[in-house]
A and B are shown apart, each in its own frame.
Chain A
Amino acid sequence: MVNLPTTPAGILPFIVAIVTSHTFITLVIFPGFIHLMVVVMFLTWYERKLLARIQLRIGPLYAGGPGGILQPIADGVKLIFKEVMIPYTADKPLFLGIPLALVFLGALPFAVIPFGQHWVIANLDVGLVFVFAVTSLFPSMVLIFAWASNSKYPFLGGLRSLFQQVAYEIPMWVSALSVVMLAESFNLVQIVSAQQKIWFIGPAFISFAVFFIASMAELERLPFDLPEAEPELVAGWFTESSGALFMVIFLALYMKLYLMSSLITVLFLGGWWGPAFLPQPVWFILKALIVATFIIIPRGVYARLRVDLLIKVGWTRLLIVALANVFITVVLLRTGILSPWGL
């Protein structure tokens, strides 16, 4: 607790005390705002560069820095200065408000993601359920935004997005259940701590596979990018967004990409654990970026799924595999096969 300054000379130490306090640093600098923005901007450049290399192109080059790494800043400046066009028939409060809500919801779960043993904003006992609750708000937001655009392509995209995210949310969280059983906790810090001897990708490989596939569907990434299928739906549910509004939505989407990569890192890849020559947060971010790489690569490689196949895979295959995996985990735990690793 920092006391309010009483004299003018006390203002500077007061500001210093605020800025150097643990709350401020975790909220604004490290696992908080600035770190999030930097990583998200890096991810937009990284995706463009990676896809370009996969397709034997060069990608961003001229925006400065090695390999045009300042491209996201150029993009941001360009988008801010473009006109925000609001369709005449759009529902304006929702059309402008939902993108901001999406960014808020995208950033909120990072409050419980542990980037290191002490690098977590809120060490919540129900951390995983919190992430589940917050991400479950995305589909309805997307549908409301699509509805508010009052245009047919966004609406079709929004409906597809809703169907898809609802269909894949359930297998995703059922597969996360086995991790909870292995760690005996919903607390993300404890889940990572339990992986000191063995990463959960080993004992829960099936649930890792299910979670990875489902998170790709949640992120609307190829081969599951039906909600924003360019040839059919222009840009899907955010077709009508332009300028700064588009930038905000883009930000939210990449935040969600980083969120899912971080979550996979926390649940299956041992979070911050790694050889001691690098600090814990560096290991965490490295792992998250590797996961993000594997989420991005299919976009340069695969074609899109058909709608009916997509829904069928989600409800009749992934869900059953995820449920079977819960059973397998129970057997593994009960027979004590995993006891050498302290599980």
Chain B
Amino acid sequence: MDLSVPPDITFVVLTAITLVAAIMALQAKELIYGAISLAVSFIGIAGFFVSLDAPYLAMLQIAVYVGAVVVLILFTIMLVSREEVDKDLTGETGESAAGLWLAGLLAVSIAGIAALAGPNLPSTAPVGNLPISQLGPVLAGSYPVPLLILALLLSGALLGALVLAKVDR
């Protein structure tokens, strides 16, 4: 029996699962539901890897992120007392509005870059067997937009970690 579905539908469904689960992970009132949503989001990303013909990466994504990182998060949740968590979860409304504005600005600028880059967007052609010395030129030359988004994401995560870990004196 032919069970394959058009790639577009797969992509849309996977994107929906991943995004909805990620938003739920951020918005969950109960931390443990946040952790479970995060796990679902990771599994959605593994689904992307499967649809991109990278099953090995997908399996490792599940094993490492869902099997190990989520377990670590669960550990942390179990060890932190509930009152301590509830206090920090309630952010001010102004903060989330600013966050939304910033996210919108970022999305627009990334879309602008992508539109300008146009034909230089990543091709679907396989990269093939690449010597490690060529990794940098290929990443920065053929895939500038994903690299840029990745850099933004990483610096955002780093700044977020700094803000969260900051001790008020």
Pick from A2, A91, A166: contact of B71, CB under 8 Å: A166
Instruction: Please measure, in the bound complex, the distance between the C-alpha atom of A2 and the C-alpha atom of B3, giving whole angstroms.
Output: 12
Given A124-B55, A159-B78, decide whether A21 and B67 contact each other with a Cβ distance below 8 A.
Answer: no
Given A132-B63, A136-B63, A136-B67, decide whether A143 and B55 contact each other with a Cβ distance below 8 A.
Answer: no
Q: Which residue of chain A has its CB nearest to the CB of B68?
A: A136
Question: What's the dominant secondary structure at chain A's contact region?
Answer: helix
Instruction: Please measure, in the bound complex, the distance between the C-alpha atom of A137 and the C-alpha atom of B62, giving whole angstroms.
Output: 8
Cβ-based interface call for B21 (8 A) = no
| Shortest Cβ distance from residue B1 to the other chain A in the assembled complex, whole angstroms | 5
- In the complex, which range does the number of interface residues on chain B fall in? 20 to 34
Cβ < 8 Å to B, chain A residues 125-180: 125-126, 129-130, 132-134, 136-137, 139-140, 143-144, 147, 159, 162, 166, 169
Which of B36, B60, B63, B66 has the most CB atoms of chain A within a 10 A radius of its CB? B63
Instruction: Please measure, in the bound complex, the distance between the C-alpha atom of A130 and the C-alpha atom of B56, giving whole angstroms.
Output: 8
Cβ-based interface call for A23 (8 A) = yes
Given A147-B32, A166-B71, decide whether A137 and B66 contact each other with a Cβ distance below 8 A.
Answer: yes
Q: Which chain B residues border A130 with CB–CB below 8 Å?
A: 55, 59
| Shortest Cβ distance from residue A90 to the other chain B in the assembled complex, whole angstroms | 13
Q: Are A136 and B1 in contact (CB under 8 A)?
A: no
Pick from B56, B67, B78: contact of A137, CB under 8 Å: B67
Q: Are A132 and B71 in contact (CB under 8 A)?
A: no
| Shortest Cβ distance from residue B65 to the other chain A in the assembled complex, whole angstroms | 10
Q: Which residue of chain A has its CB nearest to the CB of B67?
A: A136
Q: Which residue of chain B has its CB nearest to the CB of A125?
A: B55
| Shortest Cβ distance from residue A167 to the other chain B in the assembled complex, whole angstroms | 12
Q: Which chain B residues border A147 with CB–CB below 8 Å?
A: 32, 78
Cβ-based interface call for A16 (8 A) = no
| Shortest Cβ distance from residue B46 to the other chain A in the assembled complex, whole angstroms | 8
Cβ-based interface call for B2 (8 A) = yes
Q: Which chain B residues border A56 with CB–CB below 8 Å?
A: none
Q: Which residue of chain A has its CB nearest to the CB of B46?
A: A133
Cβ-based interface call for B24 (8 A) = no
Q: Which chain A residues border B74 with CB–CB below 8 Å?
A: 140, 143-144, 162
Bitwise, A109-135 to B at CB < 8 A (1) or not (0) is 000000000000000111001101110
| Shortest Cβ distance from residue A23 to the other chain B in the assembled complex, whole angstroms | 5
Cβ-based interface call for B70 (8 A) = yes
Given A143-B74, A144-B74, A147-B78, decide whether A133 and B59 contact each other with a Cβ distance below 8 A.
Answer: yes
Q: Are A133 and B55 in contact (CB under 8 A)?
A: no
Q: Are A133 and B78 in contact (CB under 8 A)?
A: no
Instruction: Please measure, in the bound complex, the distance between the C-alpha atom of A133 and the C-alpha atom of B59, giving whole angstroms.
Output: 6
Cβ-based interface call for A12 (8 A) = no
- Which B residues have a C-beta under 8 Å from some C-beta of A? 1-2, 30, 32, 36, 39, 55-56, 59-60, 62-63, 66-68, 70-71, 74-75, 78
- Which A residues have a C-beta under 8 Å from some C-beta of B? 1-2, 21, 23, 91, 94, 124-126, 129-130, 132-134, 136-137, 139-140, 143-144, 147, 159, 162, 166, 169, 186
A/B interface sample: 7 pairs, CB < 8 A:
A23-B1, A94-B36, A130-B59, A132-B59, A140-B39, A147-B32, A162-B75
9 closest cross-chain pairs (CB), A and B: A136-B67, A133-B62, A129-B59, A133-B63, A133-B59, A126-B55, A136-B63, A126-B56, A140-B71
